[in-house]
Structure 1
Amino acid sequence: MHIKIVKAGKYEYVRLVESFRENGKVKHKVILNLGRKDIIEGNPSFKRLAERLLEISGGTVEKTDKLQISEGTLRNYGFIVYRKLWQIFGFDSFFDQLKRKHTKLQFDLGSVIFLMVVQHLLSPMSKLSTYEKRYLYLGIPEMDLNHLYRSLDLLAENKENIENYVFDRNRTLFNMSVDVVFYDVTTFYFESVREDGFRDFGFSKDNKINEVQVVMGLLIDSEGRPIGYELFPGNTLDSKTLERSLEKLKERFNIRQVIIVADRGLNSKLNLSRIKEMGYDYIVASRLKKMPESVIEEVFDSNGYRLLTPELLARYKEEDEEEFRYKVIDYINRYKDEEGKVKELKEKMVITYSKKRALKDKADRERLIEKAKELLKEPARIRASNRRGSKRFILEKGEKEEYCLNEEAIAADEKFDGYYAIQTSLLDLKAEKVLEVYHTLWKIEESFRIMKSTLEVRPIFHWTERRIKGHFVVCFLAFLLERTLEYKLKTNGIMMSPNKIREALNSMMFTEVEINGQLYLIKMKLSEGANKILRVLRIAPPKNVLSLEEAKAFTW
């Protein structure tokens, strides 16, 4: 590390730079921009900075020629943002109480769990790599690798207690509203073909048909904050996951009035009847093509449709929509209970037509038809494939396993281009409100995207059921902190995506150097996003130069 003077235009600039080698060439990374040389010269502020460096290093102004500076090591302090949220939730106290129930534990349980959580938030990696890179975070207490794995076991054993605690704290801290709950299901696969009753083969939402997986059902509130989740064996159907989550809402969280909002994968007559039996209501996407003929006739009847208001189109971010119309019909959803008795669910259906959706539906179908044509060239693949996707446009003719395009199925599918339907048990709720609430379902889809991309729930480097479940609790806590930070920024008029948040927090770096045998840290320039986050959480930024002890006190 050294001082470098760079000429730009008519001025010279002073920079603290670090040398490194890349592809055989020596390059420089700017650690600190000190400013224009003509301004620095004689500037008392710069003189105080130099004196501070000398003070920390044990030197004096008269001995500047003896100043020995080592190469720098980068240290992240952006984790202090999540550390503050961790403290707001009171997790240190919670895990201290949990530790007292396990008298054999001789390590700081809360700090070990926090390290795993913050690593997922800032730079996801395996537990082994997390342990090896723990020194990147100043102030983290000493720990062994085994402490991370032992903590996963405890997290798995105490998942429900953690969810209950988080739910209560969310209501206390943020007045979390749970009158509308969004529910959806996704899958997480493993790079493995080994089944064990928990990891199993099933329908993969990531198109990983040759690898085992687990299924997750997730509950979130209207702000996208997690309420709880359940893990199921990998061969569990979406429609079979909802009941356990409903029981969680009723029995564990004691929520008495709630609207369940879900996609069509959860729309089964049994699920809808169970929702009503538990005293809840629902807004779910309809399986329109499987509706009775009388309903389908009503859908295609142009009478009764109304245009959506420009205000709602703007709220849906669909201002460029050329045509969006809707109509409401009353519907009796009949089904047979377990005893074979016919039961009825009184519903309202909101039918929508969108020209933009029609174009998308057409493009999606044409893509499937092209895949079907490719399958027709290899009949063996048709026999081996399932009935989803492009195969529904293939017709088997005769008894000699001969196939052709199913033109009738293609024509029938084309009729529904642009149409969509939503079923609700809320008979008095206005259609515009039904659409508005259902439209918010994107938040849970976004939640899964965050888990799979930003937080990188997978790859999952664990193979026993207990460790896998502990890993998902870590991801649940990470997701909770990330969503809470998003919420706090949003309420202060700042919209930042999870990726932008991570980028901002990872810009919060110290360069640790050794001067005459003593360590100190130089703050690197903060990004605009990092400054905004610190202001919202009321965290004062660190001084430009700190001793190692001062830096540890600041971060922990």
Structure 2
Amino acid sequence: MASIQARKNRGKKYWYIVESKRINGKPRPIVIESLGSTEKLLNRLRNGDLKNKKKSFSHGSVAALLSLAKKLDIVSIINNHTKSKRDYWSKKPLRNNLTSGITMLLAAIGRICNPTSKRDWHNWATKTTCDYLLRISSSNLDSQHFWDLMDCIPEEEIENIELEILQNVSKFYPLNEEILSYDTSNFFTFIDSDNNRCNIARRGKNKQKRNDLRQVGLALTVTQENYIPIIHHTYQGNISDCKVFAGIIFAIKNRMQKLNMDISKHTIVFDRGCNSKINLKKVERLKLYYVGALTPTHHKDLLKSAKRNFVTIKIDDTELEVYREMRMIWSCKRTVLVFVSKNLKEGQLKGVYQSLEKKKKHLRVIQKALLNPRSKKRTREQLEKLINKILCGQFMEGLIDYKLIEEKKDRWSLSYSTNNKNLILLESRLGFRIIMTNRHDWSSDKIIAAFHGQAAVEQAFKDIKNPYHLAITPEFHWTDQKIKVHYFCCVLGYLLATLIGFDARKNGFKGALDTLFDHLNNIRLSREIKLANKQGKPKVSYQLEEMSNE
């Protein structure tokens, strides 16, 4: 039963509709609605504003995620690994009567439903049924609340927390898929260049082209079919993929063993950025099975053999020309497959023709400038340097021929043309894929299908860069520990989202995660507050709004 209660805020009295709920066995007053000051309350009573008041909240996503988190016991697992760094706090600290476990879960749910800053989190939460389902007042959960409780999660415990959660996941969901996909990506930050307290954010080659900003790297391994993340690693943004793989491959095997995965039945798929003689020796020494890629330009003799000996096979009703052989790669015998990817070739050709047009456009500008009698005088060497700089680029070598003719002293004319012979030769070299594996007993179509499974982890990164659901950014943290905890919350959110997606697909849903959470967010719970008379207690009732068939 709800009641109207007065509370003082900064010396002034305000009125609230409050319900008493039991939390951890103890009755707690939960604010349902603020009614304002005494004057406003009297005015609303006289005008009958409180006779029938309705409001609806986004309910579907929050309810599904909280139910799943309860099933997996996520809050207790996180709480078991928290430790206060402050002498004046208890060992298992509370803030606003909330533990670190529930706070990190709420942060993860926020990333799924509406990625926002910790400061703005409560603005999103008050529009959902978080308060109703958890019996909390989310308006008290400011950025300081999150920072204080994030501070209680030691960096070294993140791996153990993730493992225990996944062990619970394995009781309800399939983690024993044959193919595991591994990849890395990076995320730019706005951390100041002079900030010396942050070592993890470094400048590097950013995949979103923000090379002017410091970035943080994330390595991720997911199951091929359901995209469930089984391990993540946050690392310095200037470390190459090859070095990251060398460090994490032991952790991947360790995680597989602790999740009771049969090493002999699982295969790790990774791209050519992970390749090195040392890395492949480590993989072989760990007795892991893998499918990886090789760079075609590094194996020209293999391409020549392939062109003469292609065999046509069928993969999902599609014919594909494939060449297969056993070959020594970095002192170890591996099964190697060569094939032409139609999609890759089309994409490469499109890029080549676009680049050609851009080069010609720049050359036309130079050509026009040289015809101007007032243009700056240049030597042949200066012009050749300028033109060669324009013509450089991937696949561009030898595709455009040009000629400089000196009309008079330091006055030149420029002519150019496309070298069709070299262009045709280039087209015959594009689209090649070379993959290698130590699964010597697998058929060619199974190896290629496993390699295509790399799309699973690429889709995972695409999802966690989606600004509307699951995004890692915005990221307003600037210490290593906070950044690592933030990334853990984001990956936890992605884990929960993939499990919700798995359940939805079992029930006939066929869309993407983004679409799924759009639908779930649109499931709303309506609250109605009724006041029988001026002296009666308000009655609060809840009802789901009508939903579409989707």
Q: Same fold judged by TM-score > 0.5? A: yes
Match of 1:443 among 452, 456, 465: 456
User: 1:103-129, CA deviations, whole angstroms, 9 ceiling, x for partnerless residues?
Assistant: 150233332222211111111111111
Whether the aligned pair in 1 keeps the contact of 2:303 and 2:338 (CA below 8 Å) is: no
| Separation (CA, whole Å) in 2 of partners of 1:210 and 1:391 | 27
| Separation (CA, whole Å) in 1 of partners of 2:187 and 2:396 | 25
User: What is the aligned partner in structure 1 of residue 215 from structure 2?
Assistant: 213
| Separation (CA, whole Å) in 2 of partners of 1:464 and 1:357 | 40
Whether the aligned pair in 2 keeps the contact of 1:267 and 1:287 (CA below 8 Å) is: no
1:354 Cα deviation (Å)? 4.2
User: What is the aligned partner in structure 1 of residue 269 from structure 2?
Assistant: 261
Match of 1:329 among 312, 325, 331: 325
Q: What is the SS of the residue equivalent to 2:170? A: helix
Correspondences of 1:246-257 after superposition (within 5 Å): 246-254=249-257, 256-257=263-264
| Separation (CA, whole Å) in 1 of partners of 2:477 and 2:388 | 35
1:333 Cα deviation (Å)? 0.6
1:528 pairs with 2:528? no
1:505 Cα deviation (Å)? 1.3
Q: Which moved more, 1:182-191 or 1:151-160?
A: 151-160
Q: What is the SS of the residue equivalent to 1:329? A: strand
| Separation (CA, whole Å) in 2 of partners of 1:497 and 1:288 | 33
| Separation (CA, whole Å) in 1 of partners of 2:544 and 2:255 | 46
1:211 Cα deviation (Å)? 1.7
Match of 1:227 among 225, 230, 233: 230
1:226 Cα deviation (Å)? 0.2
Change (3 A) 1:234 1:444: same
Match of 1:457 among 461, 469, 472: 472
User: 1:1-22, CA deviations, whole angstroms, 9 ceiling, x for partnerless residues?
Assistant: xxxxxxxxxxxxxxxxxxxxxx
- The percentage of aligned residue pairs carrying the same residue is 19
Q: What is the SS of the residue equivalent to 2:242? A: helix
Q: What is the SS of the residue equivalent to 1:127? A: coil
Match of 1:299 among 301, 306, 311: 306
Correspondences of 1:301-320 after superposition (within 5 Å): 301=308, 303-309=309-315, 311-313=316-318
Q: Which amino acid aligns with 1:263?
A: D
Correspondences of 1:91-490 after superposition (within 5 Å): 91-99=74-82, 103=91, 105-106=93-94, 107-135=98-126, 136=128, 137=130, 138-140=132-134, 141-142=136-137, 144-145=141-142, 146-155=144-153, 157=155, 158-177=157-176, 179-191=178-190, 194=193, 196-222=198-224, 223-254=226-257, 256-257=263-264, 258-291=266-299, 293-301=300-308, 303-309=309-315, 311-313=316-318, 324-334=320-330, 344-373=331-360, 389=394, 413-453=426-466, 454-490=469-505
| Separation (CA, whole Å) in 2 of partners of 1:392 and 1:194 | 38
Whether the aligned pair in 1 keeps the contact of 2:180 and 2:221 (CA below 8 Å) is: yes
Whether the aligned pair in 2 keeps the contact of 1:115 and 1:134 (CA below 8 Å) is: no
1:510 Cα deviation (Å)? 2.2
| Separation (CA, whole Å) in 2 of partners of 1:209 and 1:471 | 22
User: What is the aligned partner in structure 2 of residue 55 from structure 1?
Assistant: none
| Separation (CA, whole Å) in 2 of partners of 1:396 and 1:123 | 53
| Separation (CA, whole Å) in 2 of partners of 1:216 and 1:413 | 35
1:330 Cα deviation (Å)? 2.0
1:372 Cα deviation (Å)? 4.5
Q: What is the SS of the residue equivalent to 1:173? A: coil
- TM-score between the two structures when normalised by the length of structure 2: 0.71
Unaligned 5+ runs, structure 1: 1-64, 314-322, 335-343, 530-556
Match of 1:86 among 39, 64, 69: 69
1:498 Cα deviation (Å)? 0.8
Q: Which amino acid aligns with 1:442?
A: A
1:389 Cα deviation (Å)? 4.8
1:295 Cα deviation (Å)? 0.7
Whether the aligned pair in 2 keeps the contact of 1:325 and 1:354 (CA below 8 Å) is: no
User: 1:301-320, CA deviations, whole angstroms, 9 ceiling, x for partnerless residues?
Assistant: 2x3421324x354xxxxxxx
Change (3 A) 1:482 1:519: same
Change (3 A) 1:304 1:522: closer
Change (3 A) 1:312 1:213: farther
Change (3 A) 1:234 1:500: same
User: What is the aligned partner in structure 1 of residue 55 from structure 2?
Assistant: 73
| Separation (CA, whole Å) in 1 of partners of 2:399 and 2:152 | 51
Whether the aligned pair in 1 keeps the contact of 2:242 and 2:273 (CA below 8 Å) is: yes
| Separation (CA, whole Å) in 1 of partners of 2:449 and 2:425 | 29
| Separation (CA, whole Å) in 1 of partners of 2:285 and 2:448 | 24
> What do you get for the CA RMSD once the two structures are aligned?
3.5
| Separation (CA, whole Å) in 1 of partners of 2:482 and 2:388 | 38
User: 1:275-328, CA deviations, whole angstroms, 9 ceiling, x for partnerless residues?
Assistant: 11211122112211211x421211222x3421324x354xxxxxxxxx632221
Q: What is the SS of the residue equivalent to 1:154? A: coil
Q: What is the SS of the residue equivalent to 1:125? A: coil
Q: What is the SS of the residue equivalent to 1:437? A: helix
Q: What is the SS of the residue equivalent to 1:181? A: strand
1:506 Cα deviation (Å)? 0.8
1:384 Cα deviation (Å)? 10
Whether the aligned pair in 2 keeps the contact of 1:371 and 1:390 (CA below 8 Å) is: no
Change (3 A) 1:279 1:225: same
Q: Which amino acid aligns with 2:491?
A: F
| Separation (CA, whole Å) in 2 of partners of 1:153 and 1:369 | 53
User: 1:507-533, CA deviations, whole angstroms, 9 ceiling, x for partnerless residues?
Assistant: 12123343325443343212333xxxx
Q: Which amino acid aligns with 2:519?
A: A
Aligned residues: 441
User: 1:221-257, CA deviations, whole angstroms, 9 ceiling, x for partnerless residues?
Assistant: 2331001111221111112211222111233543644
More helix by share: 1
Change (3 A) 1:393 1:487: farther
Correspondences of 1:497-516 after superposition (within 5 Å): 497-516=512-531
Change (3 A) 1:268 1:394: farther
| Separation (CA, whole Å) in 1 of partners of 2:75 and 2:227 | 24
| Separation (CA, whole Å) in 1 of partners of 2:218 and 2:401 | 36
Q: Which amino acid aligns with 1:147?
A: H
Change (3 A) 1:201 1:259: same
Q: What is the SS of the residue equivalent to 1:174? A: coil
User: What is the aligned partner in structure 2 of residue 25 from structure 1?
Assistant: none
